[in-house]
Amino acid sequence: MRYIITPSQFHTLVYLYLDKKFSNKDFRKQINPYNEMTDNDWRIEMYDKEGRNQISYFWFGPGEYDDGSRHNGVGSIHVHPDIADFIRNTFSVRESKAVDIVADWVSEKLGVDIDEISVYPNRENPPSY
């Protein structure tokens, strides 16, 4: 059986799922060990209540990319495939929509900007639709 829900209800349900899966005490901030002199580069590992790292947020402070181009700072997250697949399968949405809502939640929870989103680690097999 399928139910039609509004975007607002979808948003609320995913946020409730993520709030129940994670608690703020399981967020661990680490400064980049290769640049310890500043707080310019850091990450936050988000562990679920079973102790598994499920979401990682990375902040790369203003600087240069390897190709020499400059940036004003980049926020990036890695979302574990289990989270993306649960949301995708539960709500019958594209993976990009599933990880976008996770990025919105992380952005709100941590008060950060997110420029890049990826599913990581890579799956052994591609998702089935």
The pLDDT of residue 17 is: 96
pLDDT tens digit sequence for 23-66 = 877 788 887 766 555 567 889 999 998 899 999 999 988 888 77
- The Cα 54–Cα 46 span in angstroms is 6
105 within a domain of the structure (yes/no): yes
Counting residues of the chain whose pLDDT is more than 90, the rounded percentage is 59
13 within a domain of the structure (yes/no): no
The residue among 20 and 69 whose pLDDT is bigger is 20
The residue among 26 and 107 whose pLDDT is bigger is 107
Per the CB < 8 A criterion, the answer to whether 78 and 116 are in contact is no
125 within a domain of the structure (yes/no): no
Q: Residue 121, preceding bond cis, omega within 30 degrees? A: yes
Please list the alpha-helical segments (H only) found in the chain.
7-21, 81-91, 95-110
Which residue segment(s) compose the domain that 88 sits in? 25-33+41-119
94 within a domain of the structure (yes/no): yes
Residue 113 has pLDDT above 90, yes or no: yes
- The Cα 102–Cα 91 span in angstroms is 14
Residue 1 has pLDDT above 80, yes or no: no
How do 74-79 and 22-31 pair as beta strands? Answer: unpaired
Per the CB < 8 A criterion, the answer to whether 105 and 14 are in contact is yes
* Average pLDDT along the chain: 88
60 within a domain of the structure (yes/no): yes
Q: What is the DSSP letter of 126?
A: P
Per the CB < 8 A criterion, the answer to whether 13 and 21 are in contact is no
76 within a domain of the structure (yes/no): yes
Q: Name the domain count of the chain.
A: 1
The pLDDT of residue 119 is: 94
Confidence of residue 79 (pLDDT cuts 50, 70, 90): very high
The pLDDT of residue 65 is: 74
